[in-house]
Amino acid sequence: MLILAIESSCDETAAAVVRDGREILSSVISSQIDLHRPYGGVVPEIASRDHLSKIDPVVEEALLEARIELEMIDGVAVTQGPGLIGSLLVGVCYAKALAFGTGKPIVGVNHIEGHFYSVVFENPAIEYPAMALIVSGGHTNLFHVAEEGKYKVVSRTRDDAAGEAFDKAAKMLGLGYPGGPIIEKIAQKGNADAFRFTMPKISDGRPDLSFSGLKTALSKLIKGNNDGVLSESFVADAAASFQYAVVEQLAETTLKGARGLKVKTLIVAGGVACNLTLRAAMEKVANKLSVPVYFPSKHLSTDNAAMIAAAAYPKLLRREVSPISMTADITLRLQNVDNIDSRLKGKVKYRL
């Protein structure tokens, strides 16, 4: 089965052709990092306009690279949400036009579920139940996946996503955009024990994540350091300490969330999964749980269309196709957020 997939949820215009959900015939990504760098973050209007200009040539390149004609595909997959509404609409409208014009079925995919499936290309088959930490610039969620297509939220961020926290920390330290890769690089020169950040406590007792307090602590640290004058060694130590605090929170929350659930696979995906410090920490978590941990490779960790095709494949097999009337949905979720105490009392199915 050949699936042509489109991803345009944020600042990458991507298209891919994937065979049988696991073999990537092509994967084309047009990044907008240089467009947004002067602003220190993604500007929605700029993002959507760039998608409009890039989507047609990106799709054409994906078909050319895969050496197939449009008529040869068996279905179209597209990110339906969550994401930036303007960006999503470009991809959804384009995919709907392709599906209508070719008479092929279309599947709207949850972007977060796409990240979950990003590990299938280079790892053994996922054994269920699984625990999945999806951590990126826009999302930070911990899911218990009882079986394929069934997700339950164990933890989520109460404020910023981890990747967003890295971006804002990098901006405060004068390091530029995007922040995650820069923080990681600078942190290699610093001492992670130089500054200790207090781990956040959620007042209602849920095992959720929070990064706003870490940002506030970093801001105070910067202002209190020599009247805000930042030396190279201070920036390196601050970056290393901040990265350690973020990673420690992610690792501890995952370990606590997975205990008692008897998971067979640990999955860590999303753009922040590129971070080597996080990978090392999650390997330790997996060892404590006595389960394998699956990471996507770097080019599959950031937003891409191959993962959208992989997520759509089992849905097409089950004939769970979307109506041509579907549209972008920035609030799309894999499930409603349930109380952690009831996480094993029911299984919530994926819903579009």
At residue 344, the pLDDT reads 29
Rounded Cα distance, 208 and 140, in Å: 10
At residue 340, the pLDDT reads 32
At residue 259, the pLDDT reads 85
Rounded Cα distance, 43 and 255, in Å: 35
Whether 6 is in a domain gets the answer yes
71 and 56 housed in the same domain? yes
Average pLDDT over residues 251-276: 93
Rounded Cα distance, 221 and 206, in Å: 28
Whether 81 is in a domain gets the answer yes
- The CA distances from residue 232 to 187, 194, 214, 222, 239, in Å, are 11, 14, 21, 13, 11
The least confident of 101-115, 304-318, 336-350 is: 336-350
178 and 269 housed in the same domain? yes
pLDDT at 290 over 60: yes
Kindly report, residue by residue over 133-148, the tens digit of the pLDDT: 999 888 899 999 999 9
At residue 227, the pLDDT reads 67
The CATH number of residue 212's host domain is 3.30.420.40
Host domain of residue 334: 2-118+299-342
Can you list the alpha helix ranges (DSSP code H) found in 295-348? Answer: 298-301, 306-317
At residue 351, the pLDDT reads 27
At residue 240, the pLDDT reads 97
Whether 125 is in a domain gets the answer no
Average pLDDT over residues 83-98: 97
- Domain C-terminal end among 258, 280, 295: 295
At residue 337, the pLDDT reads 35
**Does residue 120 or residue 343 have the better pLDDT?**
120
70 and 171 housed in the same domain? no
135 and 221 housed in the same domain? yes
Whether 289 is in a domain gets the answer yes
**Does residue 340 or residue 210 have the better pLDDT?**
210
Rounded Cα distance, 155 and 136, in Å: 15
173 and 286 housed in the same domain? yes
231 and 308 housed in the same domain? no
114 and 160 housed in the same domain? no
pLDDT at 166 over 60: yes
Q: Which of 240, 236, 311 is nearest to 269 (CA)?
A: 311
At residue 260, the pLDDT reads 82
Q: What is the DSSP string of 169-194?
A: HHHHTT--SSHHHHHHHHHTTS-TTS
Rounded Cα distance, 245 and 147, in Å: 32
Task: Say which amino acid occupies 205.
Answer: G
At residue 138, the pLDDT reads 84
Say if CB 350 and CB 322 are below 8 A apart.
no
Does residue 129 have a cis peptide bond before it, meaning omega lies within 30 degrees of 0? yes
234 and 287 housed in the same domain? yes
What is the band of 333 on the pLDDT scale with cuts at 50, 70, 90? confident
110 and 162 housed in the same domain? no
Rounded Cα distance, 56 and 38, in Å: 26
Beta bridge partners of 150: 147, 349
- Domain C-terminal end among 257, 280, 295: 295
Average pLDDT over residues 207-214: 89
242 and 148 housed in the same domain? yes
**What mean pLDDT, rounded, does the chain reach?**
90
Average pLDDT over residues 98-117: 96
Whether 350 is in a domain gets the answer no
198 and 317 housed in the same domain? no
**Does residue 65 or residue 204 have the better pLDDT?**
65
At residue 335, the pLDDT reads 61
> What domain count does the chain have?
2
Kindly report, residue by residue over 339-351, the tens digit of the pLDDT: 333 332 333 222 2
Whether 352 is in a domain gets the answer no
Average pLDDT over residues 54-76: 97
Q: Provide the whole-model pTM.
A: 0.89
pLDDT at 71 over 70: yes
At residue 228, the pLDDT reads 64
173 and 254 housed in the same domain? yes
Both structure tokens of 70: 């449009």
Whether 347 is in a domain gets the answer no
Kindly report, residue by residue over 145-162, the tens digit of the pLDDT: 999 989 999 999 999 899
Q: Where are the beta strands (DSSP E) in the chain?
A: 2-7, 12-19, 23-31, 75-81, 106-110, 130-135, 140-147, 150-156, 265-269, 293-294
